[in-house]
């Protein structure tokens, strides 16, 4: 056999062309391999081929399966109806009968290709370009197939179109939507009445986005329709922010039911999406729904699968009732999409008027419904008897449109070629139609006046889709539409209500829930899945849903969190408790200080006030007042003046207080530890005030120098990102420098207070000072950690600083001044001078003992006077009676108690000096003058000063000699810091035998028991002699203090 192909340029070197050419060779050369052909043939002048999926794809090696009533039989009948309509219409192909040759594709590409080869037989017998003498006798005398209507499935259309492409036979599909079929010139002679899947996928992506889903499952058929369609959907969905959960689930007819089940279970448990986008043909759709129904009916899976999935299906589902038959309960709420179609008028009546004898496929369909030819004459009777509700299939209209489009195009072609319109006289009736000229008359052409084209220039249908939703009873309801280039119109609320079940109120299919306000999205692998990260709403703005930007320092976001604005600075407000509390304390302190000052001024000349060192006390009170006033500076709104004043007054106020205390304690320490022959220097009131002012002046000068070196200024501090504080520059460092000087003063005061803690009780002012300084030290040690640990809270810092300074003044006021005010106001009997007291009598007896130590008699009874020490260790004794030049005199400053019952201890100072003798009458007549001590008896009129200290000279100022101040103590002996339990210890001390005149003073303190008076020692002559030796070594004007 010889086959000659003169037009070799039409043979394409691609997969489908090679496969088709191989089929063609085998079919034409092997006469023994001929599959049975079932066709519907309608004779006519012009023949249109027809390809319809009248049967399902076969299984287990079978070519075809069950008959398909809607997609197959009804569409085939639609073509027959269109042919009858055209043949009865004188305006289309008048005088020409349009016939058809229809084959069953069985929804399988290779089977459809085998059936379509018959179209080539007629072409081989009519075209002179193709010569095949071996087969020419087997080809019938039928007219050539001028064009083919079909096929339904995109996979089948791909195979058949590739073959027809070789012979330039135009092919016009009514339902193939595969994107691959739009590729030109690969499928140059393929056109379709429906839009391609890329538009359908785009419409489905818009639909999913309208539902506010961003995460869906994707299920697709293997092959061009499903795989290419779902790829287009993924691309369109990605642009709209919709993602596919995991990989695309691909299904095929070869998959087992167990594989379907595993896939569905995986979709439920291993993913988050609830929406399912399906590009699956009718057969696999039913298998999917069948397996899902079984899972729902299984108790183990029922709760998890019932009403869980929501379906969004392509046009392969559309509005077909055959897909959802028996599955209405599990697909309620499903949303489908289908090209916008119109109802064919008269088609229902035409179909129902047919009988089973019309053609072989109708006979089989009749039998599938168990209709009998005895009682049922037409399909109307058959539908009624079998209980079938006939419904026009959605793509039947496209079949009719495809047939009419082809007929009108041929009509126009004939008009153009055969002007007299005589078909049998036209050359087209002899040589046939040219495929390219037919299709150029329906691509991008309006076939009906005032109507837009049905097919674009690329051979694709215009993108118009209708959206449907299944209600609870399985009825499709139109809920929206979409046209390419236009926005989708969807009854969104109605669709959502159709999806809502009892379990889930909001139909959402998302990977991640929307982030709450104040959070931004941190995306994971896909843009649809994210983790919500909380944005610091107090410091940051949200630029977009993926970016949170921190505001610059000193700014915070507005309420909408889309813009930063400056933080208004805050400062201490007078109406807040942070200011009210320290202000009240300061006001109370100022009033208390004023009260103390008024008491001191009122009783300025009384012994208590005079003995307190009035000048230094007034310095202290001024400093305490400043301590309280500092509070009002610190809590005021910061300004250059306020900041400067606070830096100066904080240190200055406390300098006044602690400088005065330091001068007081230093004076007491120097006096009581002084061992020189002359009085200590700088202990007068004027000197003390000058020393105090010098100490304060040093603080003031240092503050001004530091202020000049580092000028004060106001600044805004940011203790946190959300707070701005108006404050003075470097407050903490300035505070340390301002207080450093006072800290030194506090330390020195505390040291002196500790050193003078054992000064006699009549000098108990040192104990009050000690208590003041101990309390102050504890106060400031507690303040430090509080202040520096609260750097981020200016209110606590300022309030604690105010309270600490005020409490420092309060401690000094309460511990030092209140006891004196108490005596002045409520114990006035202690604030008087007295001449006679039990203490004075006790001192007399003590002074007699000292007098005996200071004198001695010879064998004749003459009084011997201790000679003046001349710098050597010898003593010369001269009887006082024989010497009228000198006489031993003793000055006694005594400190009696105010009541006889309080004579447990007294103090007296005896000054040994050389003076002229006075007689007793002079002493008694002038008790205010210095008294002369007789050799055996001491008599004196004592005047009690402001501290309870007795003095002889009434005009002497007690405040000038701090050694006169103190407290009565039990008896003890001490000298130069050494303490002795009794006279024996004092006498036995080697240091006594030295140069006593250079020691400065000897102080004698009584024991605690009144019975241990030193007058008892005069019974021991040896001890008296030794004491006389001590007295003899004492230089004139050396103090001997009896305590």
Per-residue model confidence as pLDDT tens digits over 697-752: 888 888 888 888 888 888 888 887 888 888 887 666 666 777 778 888 888 887 87
In a domain, 511, yes or no: no
Q: Output the pLDDT for position 940.
A: 30
Q: For residue 1037, is pLDDT > 60? A: no
- How many residues are recorded in the chain? 1043
CA pair distance 597, 593, nearest whole angstrom = 6
Residues 478 and 525 in one domain: no
CA pair distance 889, 49, nearest whole angstrom = 161
Q: State mean pLDDT over 56-81.
A: 87
| High-pLDDT (> 70) share of the chain, % | 71
Q: For residue 1027, is pLDDT > 90? A: no
In a domain, 513, yes or no: no
- Look up tokens 């590009």; give the residue: 279
Is 562 in a helix, a strand, or coil? coil
Least confident span in 13-27, 139-153, 157-171, 494-508: 13-27
Contacts (Cβ under 8 Å, ≥6 apart) of 507: 211, 274, 310, 496, 499, 500
Question: CB 793: neighbour CB atoms within 10 A?
Answer: 16
| pLDDT grade for 374, boundaries at 50, 70 and 90 | low
Q: To the nearest whole number, what is the mean pLDDT of the chain?
A: 74
Q: Are 567 and 549 in contact, with CB atoms under 8 Å apart?
A: no
Does 617 or 974 have the greater pLDDT score?
A: 617
Q: What are phi and psi of 894, to 5 degrees?
A: -110, 155
Q: For residue 132, is pLDDT > 80? A: no
Triad 401, 402, 407: Cα angle to 5°: 95
| pLDDT grade for 370, boundaries at 50, 70 and 90 | confident
In a domain, 512, yes or no: no
Residues 479 and 623 in one domain: no
Q: Are 477 and 468 in contact, with CB atoms under 8 Å apart?
A: yes
Question: CB 175: neighbour CB atoms within 10 A?
Answer: 28
Using CA of residue 604, residue 609, residue 610, residue 616, what is the dihedral sign?
A: negative
Q: Are 101 and 49 in contact, with CB atoms under 8 Å apart?
A: yes
Q: For residue 780, is pLDDT > 90? A: no
- Could you tell me whether strands 171-173 and 145-149 are parallel, antiparallel, or unpaired per DSSP bridges? parallel
The HSE-up count of residue 3 (CA atoms within 13 Å, CB side) is: 13
Is 40 in a helix, a strand, or coil? strand
pLDDT in tens, 648-673: 888 888 888 888 888 887 877 777 66
Q: Output the pLDDT for position 391.
A: 85
- Look up tokens 């201790």; give the residue: 866
Q: State mean pLDDT over 176-183.
A: 87
Contacts (Cβ under 8 Å, ≥6 apart) of 85: 400, 404
Which pair of tokens denotes residue 434?
């040219």
Which pair of tokens denotes residue 183?
């590729």
Triad 503, 509, 511: Cα angle to 5°: 120
Question: CB 61: neighbour CB atoms within 10 A?
Answer: 5
Does 854 or 893 have the greater pLDDT score?
A: 854
Residues 627 and 611 in one domain: yes
Contacts (Cβ under 8 Å, ≥6 apart) of 249: 217, 218, 219, 220, 263, 267
CA pair distance 27, 152, nearest whole angstrom = 24
CA pair distance 765, 756, nearest whole angstrom = 10
Is 641 in a helix, a strand, or coil? helix
CA pair distance 442, 458, nearest whole angstrom = 11
In a domain, 1032, yes or no: yes
Q: For residue 501, is pLDDT > 70? A: no
In a domain, 776, yes or no: yes
Is 55 in a helix, a strand, or coil? strand
Q: For residue 173, is pLDDT > 90? A: yes
pLDDT in tens, 675-711: 656 666 777 778 888 888 888 888 888 888 888 888 8
In a domain, 894, yes or no: yes
In a domain, 451, yes or no: no
Q: Output the pLDDT for position 346.
A: 92
Residues 602 and 648 in one domain: yes
Pure H helices in 468-576: 492-499
Q: What are phi and psi of 673, to 5 degrees?
A: -110, 5
Q: Are 820 and 603 in contact, with CB atoms under 8 Å apart?
A: no
Which pair of tokens denotes residue 868?
């003046």
Q: For residue 987, is pLDDT > 60? A: no
Contacts (Cβ under 8 Å, ≥6 apart) of 1036: 868, 912, 913, 914
Residues 614 and 527 in one domain: no
> Of 547, 566, 585, which marks where a domain is finished?
566
Which pair of tokens denotes residue 287?
């298998």
- Could you tell me whether strands 171-173 and 98-104 are parallel, antiparallel, or unpaired per DSSP bridges? unpaired
Residues 211 and 76 in one domain: no
Q: Output the pLDDT for position 755.
A: 77
Residues 67 and 149 in one domain: yes
Q: Are 295 and 266 in contact, with CB atoms under 8 Å apart?
A: no
pLDDT in tens, 95-110: 899 999 999 999 888 8
Q: State mean pLDDT over 840-868.
A: 43
- Among candidate residues 604, 637, 635, 630, the one with its CA nearest the CA of residue 618: 604
Residues 206 and 113 in one domain: no
Does 377 or 250 have the greater pLDDT score?
A: 250
Residues 999 and 929 in one domain: yes
In a domain, 119, yes or no: yes
When divided into structural domains, the chain yields a total of: 5
| High-pLDDT (> 90) share of the chain, % | 21
Q: Are 1034 and 1040 in contact, with CB atoms under 8 Å apart?
A: yes
| pLDDT grade for 912, boundaries at 50, 70 and 90 | very low
pLDDT in tens, 20-54: 555 555 455 444 344 556 789 999 999 999 999 99
CATH of the domain at 108: 3.40.50.2300
Q: Output the pLDDT for position 280.
A: 92
Q: Which of 276-280, 421-425, 539-543, 931-935 has the highest mean pLDDT?
A: 276-280
| pLDDT grade for 146, boundaries at 50, 70 and 90 | very high
- Could you tell me whether strands 98-104 and 46-52 are parallel, antiparallel, or unpaired per DSSP bridges? parallel
Q: For residue 852, is pLDDT > 50? A: no
Pure H helices in 387-456: 396-417, 428-431, 435-439
> Of 830, 864, 881, which marks where a domain is finished?
830
**Residue 258 belongs to what domain range?**
197-344+466-499
Bond from prior residue into 649 cis (ω within 30 degrees of 0): no
| pLDDT grade for 421, boundaries at 50, 70 and 90 | low
Triad 878, 884, 889: Cα angle to 5°: 80
Separation in Å, CA 579 to CA 574, 640, 718, 802, 845: 6, 20, 21, 9, 63
Which pair of tokens denotes residue 366?
């009749």
Residues 893 and 797 in one domain: no
- Among candidate residues 168, 132, 126, 150, the one with its CA nearest the CA of residue 27: 132
Give kind and range of the element (H or E) at residue 168: none
Residues 875 and 1022 in one domain: yes
Q: Output the pLDDT for position 218.
A: 94
* Angle between helix 640-673 and 765-788 (nearest 10): 150
Residues 154 and 219 in one domain: no
Triad 941, 945, 947: Cα angle to 5°: 135
Q: Output the pLDDT for position 903.
A: 31
């Amino acid at each position: 056999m010889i086959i000659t192909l003169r037009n070799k340029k039409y043979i394409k070197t691609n997969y489908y062309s090679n496969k088709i050419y191989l089929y063609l060779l085998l079919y034409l050369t092997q006469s023994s391999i001929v599959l049975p052909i079932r066709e519907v043939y309608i004779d006519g002048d012009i023949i249109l081929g027809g390809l319809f999926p009248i049967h399902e794809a076969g299984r287990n090696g079978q070519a075809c399966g069950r008959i398909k009533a809607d997609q197959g039989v009804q569409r085939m009948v639609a073509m027959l109806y269109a042919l009858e309509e055209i043949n009865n219409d004188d305006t289309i192909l008048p005088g020409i009968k349009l016939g058809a040759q229809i084959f069953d594709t069985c929804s399988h590409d290779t089977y459809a290709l085998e059936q379509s080869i018959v179209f080539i037989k007629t072409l081989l017998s009519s075209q002179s370009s193709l010569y095949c003498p071996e087969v020419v006798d087997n080809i019938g005398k039928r007219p050539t197939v001028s064009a083919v209507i079909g096929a339904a499935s995109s996979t089948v259309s791909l195979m058949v179109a590739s073959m027809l492409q070789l012979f330039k036979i135009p092919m016009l599909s009514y339902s193939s939507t595969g994107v691959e079929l739009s590729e030109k010139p690969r499928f140059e002679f393929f056109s379709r009445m429906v839009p391609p899947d890329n538009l359908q996928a785009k419409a489905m992506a818009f639909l999913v986005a309208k539902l506010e889903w961003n995460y869906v499952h994707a299920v697709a058929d293997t092959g061009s329709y499903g795989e290419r369609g779902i790829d287009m959907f993924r691309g369109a969905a990605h642009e709209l922010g919709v993602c596919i959960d995991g990989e695309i689930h691909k299904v095929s007819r070869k998959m087992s039911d167990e594989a379907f089940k595993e896939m569905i279970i995986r979709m439920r448990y291993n993913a988050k999406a609830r929406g399912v986008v399906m590009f699956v043909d009718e057969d696999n759709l039913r298998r999917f729904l069948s397996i899902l129904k079984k899972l729902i009916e299984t108790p183990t899976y029922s709760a998890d699968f019932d009403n869980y999935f929501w379906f969004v299906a392509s046009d392969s589902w559309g509005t077909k009732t055959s897909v959802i038959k028996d599955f209405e309960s599990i697909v309620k709420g499903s949303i489908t999409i289908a090209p916008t179609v119109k109802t064919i008028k008269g088609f229902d009546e035409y179909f129902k008027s047919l009988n089973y004898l019309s053609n072989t496929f109708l006979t089989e369909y009749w039998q599938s419904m168990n209709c009998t030819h005895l009682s049922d004459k037409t399909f109307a009777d058959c539908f009624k008897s079998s209980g079938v509700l006939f419904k026009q299939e959605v793509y039947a209209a496209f079949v009719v449109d495809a047939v009419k489009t082809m007929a009108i195009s041929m009509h126009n072609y004939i008009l153009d070629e055969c002007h007299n319109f005589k078909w049998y006289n036209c050359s087209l009736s002899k040589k046939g139609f040219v495929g390219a000229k037919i299709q150029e008359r329906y691509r991008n052409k309006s076939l009906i006046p005032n109507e837009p084209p049905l097919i674009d220039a690329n051979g694709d249908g215009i993108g118009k889709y209708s959206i449907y939703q299944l209600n609870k009873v399985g009825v499709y309801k139109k809920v929206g539409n979409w046209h390419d280039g236009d926005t989708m119109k969807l009854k969104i609320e109605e669709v959502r209500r159709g999806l809502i079940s009892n379990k889930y109120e909001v139909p959402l299919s998302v990977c991640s829930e929307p982030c709450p306000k104040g959070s931004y999205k941190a995306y994971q692998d896909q843009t649809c899945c994210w983790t919500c990260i909380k944005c610091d709403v107090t410091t940051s703005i949200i630029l977009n849903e993926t970016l949170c930007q921190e505001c610059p320092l000193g700014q915070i976001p507005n309420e909408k969190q889309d813009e930063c604005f400056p933080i208004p600075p805050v400062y201490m407000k007078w109406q807040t408790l942070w200011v009210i509390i320290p202000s009240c304390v300061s006001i109370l302190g100022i009033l208390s200080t004023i009260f103390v000052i008024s008491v001191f001024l009122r009783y300025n000349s009384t012994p208590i006030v005079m003995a307190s060192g009035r000048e230094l006390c007034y310095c202290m009170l001024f400093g305490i007042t400043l301590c309280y006033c500092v509070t009002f500076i610190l809590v005021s709104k910061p300004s250059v003046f306020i900041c400067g004043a606070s830096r100066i007054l904080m240190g200055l106020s406390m300098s006044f207080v602690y400088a005065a205390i330091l001068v007081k304690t230093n004076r007491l320490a120097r006096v009581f530890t002084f061992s020189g022959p002359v009085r200590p220097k700088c202990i007068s009131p004027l000197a003390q005030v000058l020393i105090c002012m010098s100490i304060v002046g040093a603080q003031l000068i240092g503050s001004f120098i530091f202020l000049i070196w580092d000028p004060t200024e106001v600044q805004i501090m940011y203790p946190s990102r959300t707070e701005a504080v108006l404050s003075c520059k470097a407050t903490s460092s300035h505070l340390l420098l301002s207080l450093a000087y006072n800290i030194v003063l506090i330390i020195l005061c505390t040291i002196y207070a500790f050193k003078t803690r054992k000064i006699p009780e009549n000098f108990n002012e040192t104990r009050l000072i000690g208590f003041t300084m101990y309390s102050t030290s504890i106060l400031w040690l507690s303040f430090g950690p509080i202040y520096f640990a609260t750097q981020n809270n200016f209110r606590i810092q300022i309030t604690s600083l105010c309270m600490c300074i005020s409490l420092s003044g309060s401690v000094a006021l309460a511990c030092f001044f209140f006891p004196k005010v108490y005596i002045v106001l409520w114990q006035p009997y202690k604030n008087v001078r007295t001449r006679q007291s039990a203490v004075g009598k006790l001192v007399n007896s003590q002074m007699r003992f000292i007098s005996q130590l200071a004198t001695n008699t010879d064998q004749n009874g003459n009084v011997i006077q201790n000679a003046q020490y001349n710098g050597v260790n010898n003593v010369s004794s001269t009887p006082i009676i024989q010497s009228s030049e000198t006489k031993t005199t003793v000055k006694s400053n005594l400190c009696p108690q105010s009541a006889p019952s309080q004579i447990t201890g007294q103090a007296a100072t005896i000054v040994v000096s050389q003076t002229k003798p006075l007689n007793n009458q002079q002493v008694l007549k002038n008790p205010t003058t210095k008294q002369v001590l007789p050799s055996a008896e001491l008599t004196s009129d004592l005047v009690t000063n402001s501290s309870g200290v007795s003095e002889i000279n009434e005009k002497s100022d007690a405040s000038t000699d701090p050694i006169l101040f103190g407290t009565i103590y039990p008896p003890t002996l001490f000298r130069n810091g050494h303490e002795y339990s009794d006279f024996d210890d004092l006498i036995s001390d080697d240091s006594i035998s030295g140069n006593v005149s250079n020691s400065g003073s000897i102080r004698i303190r009584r024991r605690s028991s009144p019975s241990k008076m030193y007058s008892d020692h005069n019974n021991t002559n040896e001890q008296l002699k030794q004491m006389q030796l001590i007295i003899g070594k004492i230089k004139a004007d050396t103090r001997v203090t009896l305590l």
